[in-house]
Amino acid sequence: MFPDTNYMQSPRNNPFHIGQRSIKTAAAATMVALLYLIFGGNPTFACIGAIFGLGNDMSMSRLNGGNRFFGTIIGGMVGIALFRVYIMIIPNGKPTLLTLLFLFVGVVVLISCCQIFKWPGGIQPGGVVLCIILFNTPVETYISYSVFRMIDTGVGVAVALLTNWYFTRERVDRIMARLHLSHHAAYQEADEVPDLGPAGVEEDV
C-alpha cells in the first residue's frame, strides 16, 4: 500500500513532515467534535464528513464533501425504503438470508441513482450508510437514525468547506511557522498532490 502523499511527504533531509492539508483536516474534525460535545451529541459521522470533505482547495472540498453528503442522502433514502419493506416481512428487523437480497437490490439502486445524478463518487459513502441501516439499526429508530446521519454528514462537510475557506495558504503558513512546522522550500507544494477522483485515478485540480 502506498502512503497518501496528500497528507504527508517525507523529504530526504526531513523525515517528518506535516502539510497544510493535514493541519486543516485535523482542525475541521476537532472543531466538529467540539461543537457536538458542547451540545451533548455524538460527533462520529460529522467528523467523518469533515475528514471526507477536506480537499486540497475549495473545488476539491466541494467535490469530496459533495460525494460524502450526496452518497449519504441517497444511501439513507434507499436504506429507509428497503428496511421498511424488510420489517413488514421480518418484524424484528434481525438480519437473515433475505437481508442479502435487499442488500443486493439496494446497492444496484444506489449505483443507478448516483449514475443518473452524475455523482459516482457518492457510491462508496452511500453504500456505508445503506449497510449500516440494513444490518445494524434498531427497528424503532431506523428512520430517525438515517435522518440524523444525513444531518451529521452535512454539518461535517459544511465545517470542512468553511475551514478550507478561512484557513488560506498564507494563514496556515503563519501558523505552521509559529509551531516550527514550516515546509522546506522544495516541498512547499507537497500537500498539493492531486486528489484521487471518484474512480480512484488522479484528477487535475
Output 86 or 187, whichever has higher pLDDT. Answer: 86
Higher pLDDT, 109 or 63: 109
**pLDDT at residue 7 tops 80:** no
Element (H, E) at 50: helix 44-53
Is this structure's pTM higher than 0.85?
Answer: no
Average pLDDT over residues 157-178: 79
Residue 30 burial by CB count (10 A; 0-12/13-18/19+): exposed, middle or buried?
Answer: middle
**pLDDT at residue 196, rounded to an integer:** 46
Confidence bin at 165 (pLDDT 50/70/90): confident
- The predicted structure's pLDDT at residue 197: 47
| Residue 184 predicted with pLDDT over 70 | no
93-118 tens-digit pLDDT? 999 999 999 999 999 999 999 999 88
